[in-house]
Amino acid sequence: MSDLSSFPITKKWPARNSDLIQLYSLPTPNGVKVSIALEELGLAYEPHRIDFGGNEQKSPEFVSLNPNGRIPAIIDPDGPGGKPIGLFESGAILVYLAEKTGKLIPADPAARYEMLCWVMFQMGGIGPMFGQFGHFHKFAAEKVANNSYPVERYRDESKRLLSVLEERLKDRQWIMGDEYTIADIATFPWVRGADVFYGGREVLDYAGFPAVMAWLERCLARPAAQKGLELPAKP
Ligand SMILES: N[C@@H](CCC(=O)N[C@@H](CS)C(=O)NCC(=O)O)C(=O)O
| DSSP string computed for 162-176 | HHHHHHHHTT-SBTB
Question: Which of 59, 82, 104 is the endpoint of a domain?
Answer: 104
CATH number at residue 185: 1.20.1050.10
**116 and 90 belong to one structural domain:** no
235 assigned to some structural domain: no
Average pLDDT rounded to a whole number, residues 100-118: 98
Q: Whose CA is nearest to atom 15 of ligand 1?
A: 70
Cα 90–187–116 angle (5° rounding)?
70
Cα 25–29–34 angle (5° rounding)?
50
Average pLDDT rounded to a whole number, residues 213-227: 98
Confidence of residue 78 (pLDDT cuts 50, 70, 90): very high
| Beta partners for residue 87, in sequence order | 74
Q: How far is the CA of 89 from the centre of ligand 1 (A)?
A: 8
Cis status, amide bond into 72, omega within 30 of 0: yes
**151 and 82 belong to one structural domain:** no
pLDDT in tens, 163-215: 999 999 999 999 999 999 999 999 999 999 999 999 999 999 999 999 999 99
Tell me how many domains the chain contains: 2
> Please, is 235 exposed, middle or buried when counting C-beta atoms within 10 Å of its C-beta (0-12, 13-18, 19+)?
exposed
DSSP string, 62-86: HHTT-TT--S-EEEETT-GGG--EE
230 assigned to some structural domain: no
Q: How far is the CA of 90 from the centre of ligand 1 (A)?
A: 9
CB neighbourhood size of 64 (10 A): 17
Q: Is the pLDDT of residue 235 over 90?
A: no
- Asked if residue 78 has its Cβ within 6 Å of ligand 1, the reply is no
pLDDT for the residue numbered 83? 97
Domain residues for the domain of 60 are: 9-104
**135 and 209 belong to one structural domain:** yes
The residues near 50 (Cβ < 8 Å, ≥ 6 apart) are 24, 25, 26, 56, 57, 62, 71, 232
231 assigned to some structural domain: no
What is the distance of C-alpha 183 from the center of its chain? 10
Distance CA 115, CA 37 (A): 15
pLDDT in tens, 118-127: 999 999 999 9
Q: How far is the CA of 54 from the centre of ligand 1 (A)?
A: 15
Confidence of residue 95 (pLDDT cuts 50, 70, 90): very high
Q: Is the pLDDT of residue 74 over 90?
A: yes
pLDDT for the residue numbered 16? 97
Alpha helices in 42-170 (DSSP H): 60-63, 90-101, 109-121, 127-134, 149-169
**91 and 16 belong to one structural domain:** yes
Q: Whose CA is nearest to atom 11 of ligand 1?
A: 70
Shortest-distance atom of ligand 1 to CA 72: 20
Identify which of 119, 51, 62, 113 has the alpha carbon closest to the alpha carbon of residue 86.
Answer: 62
- Asked if residue 33 has its Cβ within 6 Å of ligand 1, the reply is no
**118 and 40 belong to one structural domain:** no
- Asked if residue 70 has its Cβ within 6 Å of ligand 1, the reply is yes
**20 and 71 belong to one structural domain:** yes
Q: Are 185 and 33 in contact (CB under 8 A)?
A: yes
Average pLDDT rounded to a whole number, residues 133-145: 96
Question: Which of 104, 128, 159 is the endpoint of a domain?
Answer: 104
27 assigned to some structural domain: yes
**46 and 149 belong to one structural domain:** no
**32 and 82 belong to one structural domain:** yes
**28 and 82 belong to one structural domain:** yes
**69 and 175 belong to one structural domain:** no
Q: How far is the CA of 1 from the centre of ligand 1 (A)?
A: 30
- Asked if residue 187 has its Cβ within 6 Å of ligand 1, the reply is no
Q: Whose CA is nearest to atom 10 of ligand 1?
A: 30
